[in-house]
Each structure stands twice: as structure tokens, then as C-alpha cells.
Amino acid sequence: MRIYLEELVDQCHSRYHLRLLFPDSPFVLQFQCEKERYAISISNRRCTVLTDGSGESHFVIEGQEKDMLSLLTGEERLSQLIENGILEVRGGYRQLLFVESILWLTRSRVKEPVQV
């Protein structure tokens, strides 16, 4: 799971145009998989994977690790996983939109174009 979060952070760093979306003060996003907790901090200055995921967070995503991985790899959208009851979230609607945007825009999985 940590490898996927590090990939997400790398994508945040490599896609400079996304920095305009990032807040000035760090936004902490926490992922809770079974008994494990992971967190990332996102700001326009720096994006990092936090070593201790048990601190204060602005938004929390809870669920099974396999479902989190499908979210982080771009196979599924956060709103779809929530709607299907697969993942649960804690946080405001504005934060939900921000998190879904970041996860979707930083996905590394690109679908191959269809040739006709």
C-alpha cells in the first residue's frame, strides 16, 4: 500500500499544473485499511507520505486494502466505490471533491486507445 501512496506523491510532484489545486497549508488524507493506517500530506509546497498515519487528518477513506488499491491505481473512482458501499469516507463534501480530483488526475494507469 505504501508503494502506491509513494507513486501518488510522485505523480503530484511530476504534474506541476496540479499544484494550482493544492492548498497553502498541508491537507492530510488518511487511508484506513483494516487495522493499518496510512496518510499523505498535500500542499503546494510539498507532498509526502507521512510515517505516522494516526495523526489529525482532514479526510479519511476506510475500506479493504484491495479496494484502496483499485482506487489508487485508477481502476475505480472514489465516488463510485462510495456509492457501491465498498469504501466509507469521513470529511466534508468539498474535501471529497478535492480528494477525488487529486486521485483521478494523478492516476498512473492510462487506458490504451482503441484502434478502428
pLDDT reading at 60 higher than 90: yes
Averaged pLDDT, 103-116: 69
CA 59 to chain centre: 10
CB-based contacts of 66, cutoff 8 Å, min separation 6: none
Domains of the chain with CATH codes: 2-105 (3.30.1050.10)
**The cell 456509492 sits on which residue?**
83
pLDDT over 90 at 19, yes or no? no
| pTM for the model | 0.85
pLDDT of residue 112: 54
